[in-house]
Amino acid sequence: MSILAAIAVLAVLILVHELGHFIAARSQGIHVNRFSLGFGPIIWKYQGTETEYAVRAFPLGGFVGFPDDDPDSDIPPDDPNLLRNRPILGRAIVISAGVIANLIFAYFLLVAQANLVGITQVNPQPGVVIQQLAPDVSSVASQAGIQPKDIILAANNRKFGTSEKEIENLREIIRNNAGNPIQLEIARGDQKLFLTVTPEAKQNGGSIGVQLSPNVKVERRRTSNPVEALKIGASEFQRIVNLTFQGFKQLITNFGETANQVAGPVKIVEIGASIAQNDIGSLFYFGALISINLAIINILPLPALDGGQLAFLLIEGLRGKPLPTRIQDGVMQTGLMLLLGLGIFLIVKETSQLEWVQKLFQ
């Protein structure tokens, strides 16, 4: 059920995106002949007065179709209600409406989470947490009596506060004291312990064989006040948008190091399933996060994305006339093939990394 919940969340986000395009077009009287959720074979369809509504086999996608380039359409090519015959502003509204719909939906998902289950808040605490020990039982940390989840409050009388930089400060003390004993003040549950550990010499300095993490207290803040929920939703929305842009910036500036962290549909579903299994309430946050990412990715000026079509409109506005159809079609088809190729590559790669798939080939 957790996998189905994650797929359902993605399907809803795609539905919201396509509804944005559809509503923006129909509200202006622009002809729309197809509204489809998913790709592949049709498993359900309904023919409306003008539009065919369909649900297809693969829900991780969708599209809104216009009769402009449909050879079977009986609408005259000079009909003012064809999308291509509308002014640039009208077309820009239709193209950008999917992105706007995803951003609005993400905001209200965060408001709903704040109101119904609460927004998770991370409150920094003093000290550095021993996240994990090296698997070698003879490591210096194990010999010193250090255990996972211990909180190091001080090292050689140097107290650690709530800053994330305290992890690096502790690492520096360990690196600079290879072969020299370090006096640790440790909190373990309600106990306070004083242990001595001597880092062993490594190539980059001293090491005690542990993984460190910030000491934080995770709490969930819920409010029944609608106005406060709107404010909390706005704050979380801004935070996620900032983090998303920082992630894209890091991907561009450190592509070699971060390319392997790019997630495709399979990985996203796997993450969503894990969240649904552990905490169904966090699906609100998961949906908002993916919705914001979907919006930002779609607005990038890349062929076959909404941003690519907006780029063509900008060029048309500057030139006073659109680029030749063959150029636009060539660029869009090339971009579509690249995106499909990337999507297929990620799907195959991530499917092969699933635990149950790997067991099939063992």
20: Cβ contacts below 8 Å, ≥ 6 apart: 97, 98, 99, 100, 101, 102
CA distance 125 to 160: 10
Torsion from C-alpha of 44, 46, 47, 52, nearest 10 degrees: -60
Q: Choose the catalytic residue: 18, 166, 185, 350.
A: 18
284: Cβ contacts below 8 Å, ≥ 6 apart: 109, 110, 112, 113, 116, 117
Ranges of beta strands (E only) in the chain are 34-47, 52-65, 119-133, 151-155, 158-159, 182-188, 191-197, 200-202, 205-207, 210-221
Catalytic annotation present for 164? no
CA distance 86 to 194: 75
CA distance 132 to 211: 5
Residue type, 298: N
Q: Which residue in 112, 122, 39 sits closest to 291, CA to CA? A: 112
**What does the block give as tokens for 74?**
């009986």
Which residues form the catalytic set? 18
